Amino acid sequence: MKERDILVALGIAAGLILVTGTLILVLGFRPIGAGGPAGPGPGQMMRGPFQPSEFSSNGQRIYYTATSRSGEPIAFTGGPPWLYMHGGSCVDCHGPDGRGGYLVPMTSQMAPDIRYSTLTSERHEEGEEMEHPPYTKALTRRAITRGLDPAGQPLDPAMPRWRMSEGDIDDLVDYLKTLDGRASSDK
């Protein structure tokens, strides 16, 4: 019957729309690999695959997201312009293992190794222009918040100066300690 055929066709069409709609809802419209609705920014190119789904500590969350416990973004000065546009945190420049070695996008600066053991050890690298004494806990905090190296010399402006609460900076420095001795492939 003609009428029945039409009904069947309508049924199939409705089913298809339902399935497609559900798929779109579940999978989302985001093309695979995009960092977000606006597409990946330079700082997010590294972030996506590194971001754990849950953070095991406040310090780790700050390292990855630069947000404090309340969810407020942590204010900063300095740093490259993309950090203001796209957001980002330590991980975007120093990497998930803290070893740095990446060129900070849109700057000529290489992000250094900031594992606590590296910061606090004596440096004997040949040809390093600016020798400075090892960091201590207090000097590490000062580097992060005021951008000064142990000798009191300002770090390059590519390193942002972060305005953190005492609790947050303590948690963050504790997190840098957990990066010690980690294999570079570890999260």
Q: What is the largest CA-CA distance in the chain?
A: 90
For residue 9, give Cα distances in angstroms to 13, 145, 165, 180.
6, 66, 64, 64
When asked if residue 156 is in the footprint of ligand HEC (CB under 6 A), the reply is yes
Are the C-beta atoms of 175 and 182 separated by less than 8 Å?
no
String marking each residue 12-51 x if it binds ligand HEC according to CB under 6 A: ----------------------------------------
Judged by beta carbon, residue 30 or residue 123, the one nearer ligand HEC is: 123
3-class secondary structure, 11: helix
User: Binding to ligand HEC (CB under 6 A): which residues in 71-100?
Assistant: 79-80, 83, 88-90, 92-94
Contact call for residue 64 and ligand HEC (CB under 6 A): no
From residue 124, how far is each of 68, 119, 153 by CA, in Å?
A: 36, 12, 19
Q: Which of 162, 168, 171, 179 binds ligand HEC (CB under 6 A)?
A: 162
Helix, strand, coil content of the chain in percent (nearest 5): 40, 5, 50
Q: Minimum CB separation from ligand HEC for residue 25, in Å?
A: 35
Under the binding rule (CB under 6 A), the answer on residue 139 touching ligand HEC is: no
Q: Which amino acid is at 70?
A: S
Q: Rule CB under 6 A: is residue 179 a binding residue for ligand HEC?
A: no
Rounded Cα gap, residues 87 and 72, in angstroms: 13
Q: Residues binding ligand HEC: what is the number (CB under 6 A)?
A: 26
In the complex, the residues that contact ligand HEC under the rule CB under 6 A are 79-80, 83, 88-90, 92-94, 104, 109, 111-112, 114, 119, 140, 143-144, 149, 155-156, 158-160, 162, 172
